[in-house]
Amino acid sequence: MGRVVVFAGSNSKNSINKELATFAASLLNNQEVKVLDLNDYPLPLYGVDIEAEIEFPENAIKFNEELADSDAIIVSLAEHNGSYTAVFKNLIDWVSRKDKKIFKEKPMLLLATSPGGRGGASVLATAKNTFPHFGADIKASFSLPSFMNNFEGGKIVDAEALKELKEAVQQLESAL
């Protein structure tokens, strides 16, 4: 049994990406799942000056340890103005100062969703290009467009999209 760490790149209390990531994790067979919430890891805004001034933030150390202790990662990225949310970028900037290989070469399922028709395609493309440089072993990726139409009662209701996500989850699971 592997330990799968699951989180959204969002600090919204009602994050649709957290819902999608949690649903994806529910499709795993017999794995230990730990869902993290970025609200539990508040951090100061990263800057080289503040890093020189303060003690390294405990929450960045804790998040880094969660990734290190995992066997696989499921992350669903919220898209703000075509890119990462500020809270997610800030988190990975801090974690990268502990370990350049932020994602520790762990198998990753990379997801994104948004209420719009592109489903976070821009942030997903950015992450697909850059995460491997930071130690992500991306096994599969999936974007769910038009979340409000395609996701109801805690699950994907569009049959095609559900099939696609199940295949992506399978690809992750075969690496565990």
Ligand X SMILES: Cc1cc2nc3c(=O)[nH]c(=O)nc-3n(C[C@H](O)[C@H](O)[C@H](O)COP(=O)(O)O)c2cc1C
List residues binding ligand X (CB under 6 A).
8, 10, 12, 15-17, 78-82, 114-116, 118, 120
Residue whose CB is less far from ligand X, 12 or 31: 12
Residue whose CB is less far from ligand X, 18 or 139: 18
Q: In angstroms, what is the minimal distance from the CB of 7 to ligand X?
A: 11
- For 2, counting Cβ atoms within 10 Å of its Cβ (0-12 exposed, 13-18 middle, 19+ buried), the class is middle
Q: In angstroms, what is the minimal distance from the CB of 49 to ligand X?
A: 26
User: Can you tell me whether residue 110 is helix, strand or coil?
Assistant: strand
For 48-120, where are the alpha helices, taking DSSP H only? 48-53, 58-68, 86-98
Q: In angstroms, what is the minimal distance from the CB of 72 to ligand X?
A: 21
Residue whose CB is less far from ligand X, 98 or 128: 128
Rounded Cα gap, residues 151 and 145, in angstroms: 10
CB 156 within 8 A of CB 147: no
